[in-house]
Chain A
């Protein structure tokens, strides 16, 4: 349904210097599927999400939604407006993304008004249906954002994104600002809505346990590139990129019995202005060899599977041992 090919977002800094925020990202998302996107801050995951929806100027690549290249459609054209109905976004901060001066009814009806959907009466009915769908009371209609908690505001943001019956939603850290007991409610809601409406999600986040739960497939980004992508189950039990393994090893586990001596990933990611030669992860990689600083690895399938890794040694990495409860150890291939 959505095919991203070689997406690039470069920001010029002047003096010929360029930030390569997103530097050749490709993936597909099927109807009703959730692709999780993880990585450290600054790796380009939010930029990728925004670029797909043309909320940022792109430098290259294509984003095919059904048969239309979203990046090639003229801005402000009726065609673009039609596309925007199908592609929506939910933002991280439920406090900053809702206008404090509009009632909830107005906020959710706004996309319907902009796209001139139905009569005023029909729009009101739609808003009431949406409130019900996201589990908010009908009387929310005339109230203002400040009257709601963080979790409820995120529901309002979701209702707004659903108003135009989109086929695809970018969820940019939608629950990161919420308390865990509330996070779970919003995640359940997102999964229910997906099941009922067949929506596809790009779920950007940093909570690895949560991503594993909600995503069908997961892509790991490092310095503007996807370094590994696989089904959630495969990625978490058999990661085939050293960076993915470092991420998993860094994540704390809610079980004091599994507390362990950690060997944290040293240092910070290099600057996306001065990229290291060869593999971008080679400067921090515990397995790096001479080849890694010379040749940039391609994101390639491991065997014939849909599991892709951008590591010269993807197939020869040592056996992975998960420290999480319940993970079966990957079988040796």
Chain B
């Protein structure tokens, strides 16, 4: 166990590029975030914003032909990006585990769920025989699967969607990881099952002290589960704050737009929902200046075409509300006056 106030996972200036014609296009462009032990950090953004790619980068599983072109990913101070492949393989599923949106495609249909969990245990914990099986059954018990001895002998198709997602979580947690990367873990589930899984994740995080990176597009899920939130747009961090601060006082026009488009945020009797006009840039790497400016109701001509400012501290006293927007630079403030 590390000291409480040391970061568990630090992503610094991460960039992921994919070849595009003769050049390369960045899908993640300079992401930085920090995760502490026992904490859940939400990463929100629309499809294509680079949130899943950020999580895959932590495991060094960016699909070919993409590659990590820049940055550092520190797990308790050790840079994962400079680890030899063999050490990285031990890390995956060991200290860092991941759960995905669709449990059906992430489970092997021809092995029982018990065998699949046992495989992970055997690989990472060096146990053998009966111990491994018991460990697998125990993992199922910890995610509240009723009758785990019997369930362990069943195949994925014999389980419901919610049950399969529990199996995925059991598998991820079987090796007691320090960091759990949860990529839209409840998006494919019904609200009732989602509620079960979210409360399970909260309980496990509390009991086992993991840090959870929770990737989602659902702001309601963020509001219920995350301690801090990072808002991504076109591969970059636009705003980062505690969940309470972000919902109470969103600073970036994109965050404001996202929150305003929720059906809950319009006043009673209002018929039309708010929306953000336009769509994200197709090739964010090629955009000079703020990638959101074409859709931004507050864009300042002549200013927002300039390269994005680095992360600005919105609240110097707590250092926990950070925004990346020209409106909050000296130049932007001057233009508004």
* Chain B CB within 8 A of A182 CB: yes
Q: Is the CB of A254 within 8 A of B265?
A: yes
Chain B contact-residue range equals 35 or more
Query: What residues of A have a CB within 8 angstroms of the CB of B300 in the complex?
Result: none
Chain A, 190-208, CB within 8 A of any chain B CB: 191, 206-208
Q: Is the CB of B275 within 8 A of A179?
A: no
Chain B, 208-226, CB within 8 A of any chain A CB: 217-224
Nearest chain A residue, comparing its CB with the CB of B188: A41
Q: Is the CB of B261 within 8 A of A184?
A: yes
Query: What residues of B have a CB within 8 angstroms of the CB of A326 in the complex?
Result: 268
* Chain A CB within 8 A of B46 CB: yes
Q: Is the CB of B223 within 8 A of A252?
A: yes
* Chain B CB within 8 A of A1 CB: no
* Chain A CB within 8 A of B161 CB: yes
Bound-state CA distance A251–B223 (Å) is 12
Nearest chain B residue, comparing its CB with the CB of A255: B223
Given A209-B262, A209-B263, A325-B264, decide whether A251 and B279 contact each other with a Cβ distance below 8 A.
Answer: no
* Chain A CB within 8 A of B243 CB: yes
A240, chain B: closest CB distance, angstroms: 19
Q: Is the CB of B279 within 8 A of A184?
A: no
Query: What residues of A have a CB within 8 angstroms of the CB of B248 in the complex?
Result: 257
Q: Is the CB of A180 within 8 A of B258?
A: yes
Q: Is the CB of B261 within 8 A of A181?
A: yes
Bound-state CA distance A40–B188 (Å) is 11
Q: Is the CB of A181 within 8 A of B258?
A: yes
Nearest chain B residue, comparing its CB with the CB of A38: B191
Q: Quick check: which of A63-71, A118-126, A258-266, A288-296 contacts chain B, the rest being far away?
A: A258-266
Bound-state CA distance A180–B49 (Å) is 13
A96, chain B: closest CB distance, angstroms: 16
Q: Is the CB of A257 within 8 A of B220?
A: no
Q: Is the CB of A184 within 8 A of B223?
A: no
Q: Is the CB of A265 within 8 A of B195?
A: yes
Q: Is the CB of B275 within 8 A of A254?
A: no
Bound-state CA distance A255–B248 (Å) is 9
Q: Is the CB of A188 within 8 A of B273?
A: yes
Q: Mark A267-293, 1 if CB is under 8 A from B, else 0.
A: 010000000000000000000000000
Given A264-B192, A268-B193, decide whether A181 and B199 contact each other with a Cβ distance below 8 A.
Answer: no
Query: What residues of A have a CB within 8 angstroms of the CB of B198 in the complex?
Result: 252, 262
Bound-state CA distance A206–B247 (Å) is 24
The one of B163, B190, B272, B279 in contact with A151, judged by C-beta atoms closer than 8 angstroms, is B279
Q: Is the CB of A208 within 8 A of B191?
A: yes
* Chain A CB within 8 A of B106 CB: no
Bound-state CA distance A179–B49 (Å) is 11
Query: What residues of B have a CB within 8 angstroms of the CB of A41 in the complex?
Result: 161, 190
Q: Is the CB of B262 within 8 A of A254?
A: yes
Query: What residues of A have a CB within 8 angstroms of the CB of B217 in the complex?
Result: 179-180
* Chain B CB within 8 A of A231 CB: no
Bound-state CA distance A185–B272 (Å) is 9
Label chain B's interface by main secondary structure.
Answer: helix
Bound-state CA distance A150–B48 (Å) is 12
Query: What residues of A have a CB within 8 angstroms of the CB of B273 in the complex?
Result: 183-184, 187-188, 213
A257, chain B: closest CB distance, angstroms: 7
* Chain B CB within 8 A of A83 CB: no
Query: What residues of B have a CB within 8 angstroms of the CB of A325 in the complex?
Result: 264
Q: Is the CB of B199 within 8 A of A188?
A: no
Which of B198, B257, B273 is the most central at the interface, judged by chain A CB atoms within 10 Å of its CB?
B273
Nearest chain A residue, comparing its CB with the CB of B160: A268
Nearest chain B residue, comparing its CB with the CB of A151: B279
Bound-state CA distance A247–B191 (Å) is 7
Q: Mark B84-125, 1 if CB is under 8 A from A, else 0.
A: 000000000000000000000000000000000000000000
* Chain B CB within 8 A of A97 CB: no
The one of B162, B218, B259, B271 in contact with A268, judged by C-beta atoms closer than 8 angstroms, is B162
Bound-state CA distance A253–B259 (Å) is 12
* Chain B CB within 8 A of A250 CB: yes
Given A180-B262, A181-B261, A182-B275, decide whether A40 and B223 contact each other with a Cβ distance below 8 A.
Answer: no
Q: Is the CB of A188 within 8 A of B275?
A: yes
Bound-state CA distance A298–B266 (Å) is 36
The one of A149, A183, A256, A264 in contact with B261, judged by C-beta atoms closer than 8 angstroms, is A183
* Chain A CB within 8 A of B286 CB: no
Nearest chain B residue, comparing its CB with the CB of A260: B224
A156, chain B: closest CB distance, angstroms: 15
Q: Is the CB of B224 within 8 A of A40?
A: no
* Chain A CB within 8 A of B69 CB: no
Given A179-B217, A188-B272, A188-B273, decide whether A264 and B195 contact each other with a Cβ distance below 8 A.
Answer: yes
Q: Is the CB of B257 within 8 A of A181?
A: yes
Q: Is the CB of B272 within 8 A of A206?
A: no
B265, chain A: closest CB distance, angstroms: 7
B195, chain A: closest CB distance, angstroms: 4
The one of B190, B220, B271, B272 in contact with A254, judged by C-beta atoms closer than 8 angstroms, is B220
Chain A, 114-156, CB within 8 A of any chain B CB: 149-151
Bound-state CA distance A210–B218 (Å) is 13
Query: What residues of B have a CB within 8 angstroms of the CB of A268 in the complex?
Result: 160, 162-163, 193
Query: What residues of B have a CB within 8 angstroms of the CB of A265 in the complex?
Result: 192, 195-196
Bound-state CA distance A150–B46 (Å) is 12
* Chain A CB within 8 A of B310 CB: no
Query: Could you jot down 22 A-B contacts, CB within 8 Å?
Result: A150-B47, A181-B275, A182-B275, A184-B261, A184-B263, A184-B273, A184-B275, A187-B273, A191-B272, A206-B190, A209-B263, A213-B266, A213-B273, A249-B195, A252-B224, A254-B222, A254-B264, A256-B224, A256-B243, A259-B223, A268-B193, A325-B264
5 additional A-B pairs beyond A180-B46, A254-B259, A268-B163, beta carbons within 8 Å, are A182-B46, A252-B223, A254-B220, A264-B192, A264-B196
7 nearest A-B residue pairs (beta carbon): A184-B275, A184-B273, A252-B220, A250-B195, A181-B276, A264-B195, A179-B46
B residues with CB within 8 A of A? 46-47, 160-163, 190-196, 198-199, 217-224, 243-244, 247-248, 257-259, 261-266, 268, 271-277, 279
